Chain A
Amino acid sequence: MAFQILLNVVLALVWMFLSHSYNPSSFIVGYLLGILLLLGFRKFFNSRFYMQRVWAVIKLFFLFIKELIMANISVLKVILKPKLDMKPGIFALETELKNPWEITLLANLITLTPGTLVIDVSDDNKVLYIHAMDINDVQSDIDAIKNSFEKAIMEVSR
């Protein structure tokens, strides 16, 4: 991926030399043309076309913001309810992610989701221990959300 970005920058510099104008706007034009060129030659690279990965990062960021807002609404509901009738508990979640930064990102996302908070990660990085605010009605929903997060993170790192 880093190689493709570097190649794109070099192509933009070549475009600046060819068109004899050394300013930011011609760099941007050259960069856009370089993206098209890399798109045309994408089957000669080992990894994917890198703009796909940039797009996946942008999608993950918006997922992050959406979950933060949803989490706040659900915490608000629990706090402002007149009776404290939630059922907290700790459950284990097995993860397929391997790299440490992926697991950190997943833990951060889970901490910001509605009603869940990561308490511990097992020593072999396979299991996350999660404290849930209301364990009965969320268990299946949460698993669905986790799967979507894991998929979004894998989309980035694949």
Chain B
Amino acid sequence: MTEIEISKIIVGLLVLLGAFLSAVSAFGIIRLPDVYTRNHAASKSATLGVISVMLAAFIYFYAEHGHFNSRVILGILFVFFTAPVSGHLISRAAYNSGVKLWDKSVRDDLKNKKK
């Protein structure tokens, strides 16, 4: 097996994995009961899905065309650092504007802080 074939297999696996993770995250956004649990699905699965698709694009252009695209690497780092912050901000804004937790939630320590 040559190098190009191996890189093709890796690229294919990464693209499929990224698409699968994005699909799972969309499915989770539909299925989960409240804002906070949906945010879990959106901020984790979507991040890794986007990162693996971008990594696949980077490896493809590097192995097939010998083109080192540094912008893709910068994009990966940017998504990696900003996705958790946006998840935190959205759920914090939801909590401060009084969105209720799911009725089967067991604990709420943040309520004590407000008093």
List residues of A whose CB falls within 8 A of some B CB.
68-69, 71-72, 75-76, 78-80, 84, 86-92, 107-108, 111-112, 115, 117-120, 122, 127, 129, 131, 133, 135-136
Contact = CB atoms under 8 A, between A and B. Distances in A.
A74 B107 CA distance: 21
B104 interface: yes
Contacts, number: 103
B17 to A, nearest CB: 10
Nearest to B108: A90
Main secondary structure of the interface of A (DSSP, over half): mixed
B67 interface: no
Contacts of A136: 106
A76 B45 contact: yes
For the residues of B in contact with A, the DSSP-based class is helix
A25 to B, nearest CB: 20
B31 to A, nearest CB: 6
B113 A117 contact: no
Contacts of B33: 84
Interface in B26-67: 27-28, 31-34, 36-37, 39-41, 43-45, 47-48
Given A76-B45, A108-B81, A129-B110, A119 B88 contact: yes
A135 B48 contact: no
A87 B103 CA distance: 10
